[in-house]
Structure formats: C-alpha cells, structure tokens
Amino acid sequence: MPSDRMLKTMNAVHRLILGVTRGKAGWTAGNMPVLELTTIGRKSGEPRSCLLTSPIQENGEIVIVASRGGDDHHPAWYLNLLETPQV
C-alpha cells in the first residue's frame, strides 16, 4: 500500500502539472476524470483539498472511491466527510 508520504507526493506532482500547464493537462488519469475534492478537516476545521479520480460517471452523478490506494484504512478525506458532509 502507498505510504502517506507517497500519496502526498503524488498529489503535489499532479498539482504541479496542473499549475505548469495552467490547467490544460492533468484533468484526466487513464480514462478517468480528475476532480478536486475540498473537505473540512475534522481536527483542524480548515479546508483540505485532494485530487481524486472518478471511475464512474452516470446521469450527472460522480462516483469516487475511498480506497486510499487499496489500503485497509480509510483516506483522511473520507473521515472528514463523515464529520462534515458538505464539500
């Protein structure tokens, strides 16, 4: 399973690509669209953003999967959503 450091590094590199290309590249990964999810940190109360892929989009619905790269533990953004569901 990817470490927290690896996941944060991947997210930072992805943001770098978006920034360098001024948003012209980086909004797809494989065949999936990339979205930016902003939640409220359950401990800090501060906005927290992460880039996620959506494997399924149907009838205006977007599906995201809280898998944390296949880990047994939930990703932080999912735990934040449990505490404050507004995104």
What is the pTM for the complete model shown?
A: 0.81
The C-alpha atoms of residue 9 and residue 4 are separated, in whole angstroms, by 8
What lies within 8 Å, CB to CB, of 81 at 6+ separation is 39, 87
* Domain boundaries along the sequence of the chain: 4-83
Class of domain 4-83: mainly beta
Query: pLDDT at position 24, please?
Result: 93
pLDDT tens, residue order, the chain (87 aa) = 778 888 889 889 989 999 999 999 989 988 899 999 999 999 999 999 999 999 999 999 999 999 877 888 899 999 999 999 998
